[in-house]
Structure 1
Amino acid sequence: MQLTTFKEKDLPYKELETIGLAAGEKLLLNIDDLKNLLSGRRTGLMQLQNLEAENIKIKSMDAKLSLFHNPAGGTELRIHPIYRKPQRPDYIDEQEADQLIKGSTGYLQKITKDDKGNTKELLVEYDAETREFIISDTDKILAPDMVNGEFLTPAQKEDYRKGKEVELPDKTVFQYAAAEPQGIRSNKLAIIASIVVDGGMSYLMYEGLNALFNKKRDLKMAEQLSPGYHNAVKDAEAQRNTLVPEQVTRGYTRGGATR
């Protein structure tokens, strides 16, 4: 969950049209990729067409996409191509980079300073598909207020923002993971998170989740969802207009681009 979220009306349609992912006001994205974009996450790998940059024209390229706010407040696309070689951030050493690349650790916590000298705490992960290090500012990671109907303590929220595992009384365990398509991992196949928005409760439903990092799970146990989960689903269904990201009602035709 990220503090940075986007509205469909703010999508850079012209940029998307240029690379073959929109036709006029019609998006040619599958629903999962659209949800990831609107939630501030990355899409899956897709083939982009007719890219131009610094007098270089590329007919087609496999890459992931994400959105960001430019200094003027507009929304722009960020393209994440498949790199030939990982570009290591200067605040992690070669041994730490190797741990991420080989999968011996899922994330690193690093303290650094921004251009103004302010201290920043970062979460560093690795995307094996694009060979890219993913950097998350922990201040911009939004921890849920509730999961499966259970309120998280301040300590649990802090652990979540730092990529650590959070366990609930119902034995559900989950952790933030920017490298994951849904931005989260769990020992369960599904969870439902809740956040307080404008005094009301909004719900985020996650299904088909991958297992916790480097941990096997029993499929039967993963399929057993707690009474708290089912009660939260009922609450969400009673308040469908509060689902986040907003429900998408029109069709999207690019079903085979992501892989």
Structure 2
Amino acid sequence: MNLVNFHEDDLPIQDLETIGLAAGGQLLLNVDDLKALLSGRRTALLELHDLETDNIKIKSINAKISLKPNENGKLDLLIHPIYRKAETPDFLNETEARQLQKGEVASLLKITLDNHGNKKEMLVEYDPDTKEYIVSDTEKILAPDMVNNELLTPAQKENYRKGKEVQIADGTKFNYSGTDHHGIRSNKLALVASILIDGGLSYMVYKGLNALFNQKREQKSAEKLSPGYHQALKDIENQHGFKPHQFEQSQTRKGR
């Protein structure tokens, strides 16, 4: 689950203009990509223009972009191009790397050591779009407290942070994904996730969700949303002046 943690006013507009994603101070991003950026995720593949680095000029390139705060509190623009060959993290062996690249597994959990010798659990995924391994610290993955108005158990939240599939009573299945545009996949086209912050609930409405990894879904079943989902929407509407963050995508893809 990714809450909106950057503000549109803080975007590096000049950098975005340089690569053709803004003009005259106005963004040229679609809503989905903008919301992905503001939530700290990567966009979908974009066509970037007129890149220049180390005296090398690139007319156009397909890449994903993301944002990262720098030491001065400003947002740096990161570009994730399509690599010719994936660079394998040193904590993966050849078999594990091959399993991820071939799509035999959605993710792997690995224990690594930080600079101070402390153990850290990392979730490793593979992005076939950019031919890149995506590594997430499981402690920093934010699990929802509720989905479709159903409280998650501590075990379910732990499984979510580990990238494992979680199923709730209404039949909705979902899992965290650092490679997905939404940051979450599901057997349903939509769900409402919420998290307790400062004594209140913050809601996230996800729509146009992609299917679970390597799983096909029947369209009618995916479109049939539970009473808990609809009740969660009503709860949001009943909060005067509150608008949920909606993550919508015009097209959906089957799980790869």
Same fold per TM (> 0.5)?
Answer: yes
The structure whose RCO (Cα within 8 Å, separation 6+) is larger is 1
> Which residue matches 1:182?
182
2:244 and 2:160 map into 1 onto residues whose CA distance is 21
TM-score if structure 2 supplies the norm length? Answer: 0.91
Q: Over aligned residues, Cα RMSD in angstroms?
A: 1.8
2:245 maps to amino acid: V
- Indicate how the Cα distance of structure 1 residues 4 and 162 shifts in structure 2: closer, same or farther if over 3 A, else same: farther
1:54 maps to amino acid: D
> Which residue matches 2:97?
97
| CA apart distance, 1:113 | 1.6
- Count residues in correspondence: 247
1:4 and 1:191 map into 2 onto residues whose CA distance is 17
Work out whether residues 3 and 141 of structure 1, in 8 Å CA contact, stay in contact via their aligned partners in 2. no
TM-score if structure 1 supplies the norm length? Answer: 0.90
> Which residue matches 2:254?
none
> Which residue matches 2:82?
82
Identity of aligned residues (%): 62
1:113 and 1:242 map into 2 onto residues whose CA distance is 41
1:10 and 1:172 map into 2 onto residues whose CA distance is 36
Correspondence 1:160 to 2:173: no
2:175 and 2:232 map into 1 onto residues whose CA distance is 19
Residues 136-215 of structure 1: pairs in structure 2 closer than 5 A: 136-215=136-215
Work out whether residues 39 and 245 of structure 1, in 8 Å CA contact, stay in contact via their aligned partners in 2. no
Deviations 1:28-58 (A, max 9, x none): 1111100000111111111111212223221
Instruction: For structure 2, list consecutive stretches of 5 or more residues without a partner in the other structure.
Output: 251-256
> Which residue matches 1:249?
none
Correspondence 1:124 to 2:159: no
Instruction: For structure 1, list consecutive stretches of 5 or more residues without a partner in the other structure.
Output: 247-254
| CA apart distance, 1:135 | 1.1
1:32 maps to amino acid: D
2:111 and 2:4 map into 1 onto residues whose CA distance is 21
- Indicate how the Cα distance of structure 1 residues 225 and 3 shifts in structure 2: closer, same or farther if over 3 A, else same: closer
Work out whether residues 4 and 39 of structure 1, in 8 Å CA contact, stay in contact via their aligned partners in 2. yes
1:109 and 1:84 map into 2 onto residues whose CA distance is 25
| CA apart distance, 1:103 | 0.5
1:48 maps to amino acid: L
